[in-house]
Structure 1
Amino acid sequence: MHPVNQDTPKLGWKQFMGVYRHSGRAISLVWATNRLLTILLAGLVLLNGILPVGIAYLGKLIVDTVIMATKSRAIADQNQAIYYIVFEMILVMLFAAGQRGIRMCRALLRAQLGHRVNTMILEKALTLELTHFEDSEFYDKMTQSRRQASSRPLSLVNRTFDFLRHFISLFTYGILLWQFSGWVTLVLVAAVLPVFFAETHFSGAAFRLFRWRTPETRQQMYLETVIAREDYAKEISIFGVGTKLLDRYKRIFNNVYQEDRKLTIRRIWWGYLLGLLGTLAFYGTYIWIATAAIKSQISLGEMTMYILVFKQAQNSLSSVLSSISGMYEDNLYVSNLYDFLEEEIASPSGGHDEGLQPGDGIRFENVSFTYPNSETPAVQNISFHLPPGKKLALVGENGSGKTTLIKLLTGLYNPSSGRILFEGRDLQQWNRQSLRRRIAVIFQDFVKYQFQVGENIGVGDVSGWEDEERWQKAAEKGMAASFIQQLPQQYSTQLGRWFRGGQELSLGQWQKIALARAFMREDADIFILDEPTASIDAEAEYQMFDYIREMTSGKMTIFISHRFSTVRMADHIIILDKGQITEEGNHRQLMQQAGQYSRLFSLQAQGYQ
Structure 2
Amino acid sequence: MKNKKKRNALRQSLAVFRYSGRAIGLVWNTSRSLTIILATLTLMAGLLPAAIAYIGKLIVDAVVLASQVESQSHNFVNIYRPLLYVGLEAIAVALLAGSQRGLSVCQSLLRVLLGQRVNVLILEKALTLDLWQFEDSEFYDKLTNARREASIRPLSLVNRTFGLVQNALSLVTYGVLLVNLSIWSVVVLVIAAMPAFIAETKFAGEAFRLFSWRAPETRQQHYIENLLAREDYVTEVKLYQIGEMLLGRYHQLFDQLYGEDRDLTMRRGLWGYLLSLVSTAAFYLAYAWIVVETVMGRISLGDMTMYLTVFRQGQSTFSNALTSIGGMYEDNLYLSNLYDFLEEEVVQPWGEATRGLNPQDGIRFIDVTFTYPGSSKPALRNISLHLKPGEKLAIVGENGSGKTTLIKLLTRLYTPDSGRILLDGLDLQEWDVDALRRRIGVIFQNFVRYQFTVGENIGVGDVEHLEDQNRWRVAAEKGMAQPFIEQLPQSFQTQLGRWFKGGQELSGGQWQKIALSRAFMRSQADILVLDEPTSAMDAQAEFDIFNHFRTLTRKQMVFLISHRFSTVRMADKIVVIEAGEVVEQGTHEELLAAGGRYAKLFLLQAAGYK
> Considering the TM-score relative to the shorter chain, is it more than 0.5?
yes
RMSD between aligned residues? 1.3
Q: Does 1:38 align with 2:35?
A: yes
Residue in structure 1 matched with residue 570 of structure 2 by the alignment: 569
1:333-344, aligned counterparts within 5 Å? 333-344=334-345
1:446-461, aligned counterparts within 5 Å? 446-461=447-462
Match of 1:52 among 40, 49, 53: 49
Residue in structure 2 matched with residue 4 of structure 1 by the alignment: none
Amino acid at match of 1:185: V
SS at match of 2:18: helix
Change (3 A) 1:476 1:38: same
Residue in structure 1 matched with residue 557 of structure 2 by the alignment: 556
Residue in structure 2 matched with residue 222 of structure 1 by the alignment: 223
Amino acid at match of 1:159: R
Change (3 A) 1:234 1:358: same
SS at match of 1:494: coil
Structure 1 position 493, deviation (Å)? 1.1
Structure 1 position 545, deviation (Å)? 1.7
1:186-335, aligned counterparts within 5 Å? 186-335=187-336
Residue in structure 2 matched with residue 504 of structure 1 by the alignment: 505
SS at match of 2:601: helix
Structure 1 position 10, deviation (Å)? 13
Structure 1 position 377, deviation (Å)? 1.4
Residue in structure 1 matched with residue 490 of structure 2 by the alignment: 489
Structure 1 position 11, deviation (Å)? 8.2
SS at match of 1:12: helix
Residue in structure 2 matched with residue 389 of structure 1 by the alignment: 390
Change (3 A) 1:544 1:27: same
Amino acid at match of 1:29: L
Q: Does 1:368 align with 2:369?
A: yes
In 2, distance between residues paired with 1:406 and 1:11?
50
Structure 1 position 228, deviation (Å)? 1.0
Q: Which moved further from structure 2: 596-605 or 61-70?
A: 596-605
Structure 1 position 489, deviation (Å)? 1.4
Matched residues, number: 601
Structure 1 position 211, deviation (Å)? 0.5
Residue in structure 2 matched with residue 69 of structure 1 by the alignment: 66
In 1, distance between residues paired with 2:8 and 2:268?
18
Amino acid at match of 2:137: S
In 1, distance between residues paired with 2:349 and 2:535?
32
Query: What 5-or-longer segments of structure 2 have no aligned partner?
Result: 1-5
Residue in structure 2 matched with residue 113 of structure 1 by the alignment: 114
Q: Does 1:169 align with 2:170?
A: yes
Structure 1 position 194, deviation (Å)? 2.1
Amino acid at match of 1:254: D
Residue in structure 2 matched with residue 587 of structure 1 by the alignment: 588
- Per-residue CA deviation, residues 11-54 of structure 1 (Å, 9 max, x unaligned), is 82111111111111111111111111111111111101111111
Amino acid at match of 2:486: Q
Amino acid at match of 1:580: E
Residue in structure 2 matched with residue 151 of structure 1 by the alignment: 152
In 1, distance between residues paired with 2:255 and 2:609?
55
SS at match of 1:523: coil
In 1, distance between residues paired with 2:360 and 2:86?
92
Residue in structure 2 matched with residue 463 of structure 1 by the alignment: 464
SS at match of 1:356: coil
In 2, distance between residues paired with 1:606 and 1:297?
111
- Per-residue CA deviation, residues 67-97 of structure 1 (Å, 9 max, x unaligned), is 1111115111101111111111111111111
Structure 1 position 554, deviation (Å)? 2.0
SS at match of 1:394: strand
In 1, distance between residues paired with 2:286 and 2:609?
98
Change (3 A) 1:250 1:305: same
Structure 1 position 551, deviation (Å)? 2.3
SS at match of 1:384: strand
Structure 1 position 543, deviation (Å)? 2.3
- Per-residue CA deviation, residues 426-469 of structure 1 (Å, 9 max, x unaligned), is 11121111111111110000000111111111110111111111
In 2, distance between residues paired with 1:503 and 1:28?
46
In 1, distance between residues paired with 2:547 and 2:519?
16
Structure 1 position 349, deviation (Å)? 4.2
Residue in structure 2 matched with residue 28 of structure 1 by the alignment: 25
In 2, distance between residues paired with 1:166 and 1:134?
47
Residue in structure 1 matched with residue 13 of structure 2 by the alignment: 16
SS at match of 1:473: helix
SS at match of 1:21: coil
In 2, distance between residues paired with 1:482 and 1:34?
51
In 1, distance between residues paired with 2:182 and 2:80?
33
In 2, distance between residues paired with 1:580 and 1:292?
93
TM-score in terms of structure 2 length: 0.97
Q: Which moved further from structure 2: 543-552 or 120-129?
A: 543-552
Structure 1 position 215, deviation (Å)? 0.7
Structure 1 position 538, deviation (Å)? 2.1
Residue in structure 1 matched with residue 100 of structure 2 by the alignment: 99
SS at match of 2:180: helix
- Per-residue CA deviation, residues 117-175 of structure 1 (Å, 9 max, x unaligned), is 00000000000111000011111111101001111111111111111111110110011
Q: Identical aligned pairs, as a percentage?
A: 59
Structure 1 position 271, deviation (Å)? 1.1
Structure 1 position 214, deviation (Å)? 0.5
Amino acid at match of 1:56: A
- Per-residue CA deviation, residues 319-342 of structure 1 (Å, 9 max, x unaligned), is 100110001100110111111101
SS at match of 1:354: coil
Amino acid at match of 2:561: I
Residue in structure 2 matched with residue 6 of structure 1 by the alignment: none
- Per-residue CA deviation, residues 181-231 of structure 1 (Å, 9 max, x unaligned), is 000000111111122112101101110111011111111111111111111
SS at match of 2:368: strand
SS at match of 2:19: helix
SS at match of 1:418: strand
In 2, distance between residues paired with 1:289 and 1:190?
18
In 2, distance between residues paired with 1:598 and 1:171?
89
SS at match of 2:450: coil
Residue in structure 1 matched with residue 3 of structure 2 by the alignment: none
In 1, distance between residues paired with 2:163 and 2:40?
12
In 2, distance between residues paired with 1:42 and 1:321?
20
In 2, distance between residues paired with 1:561 and 1:112?
48
TM-score in terms of structure 1 length: 0.97
In 1, distance between residues paired with 2:121 and 2:551?
44
Change (3 A) 1:266 1:237: same
SS at match of 1:573: strand
- Per-residue CA deviation, residues 526-563 of structure 1 (Å, 9 max, x unaligned), is 10100111011222222222332222222211101111
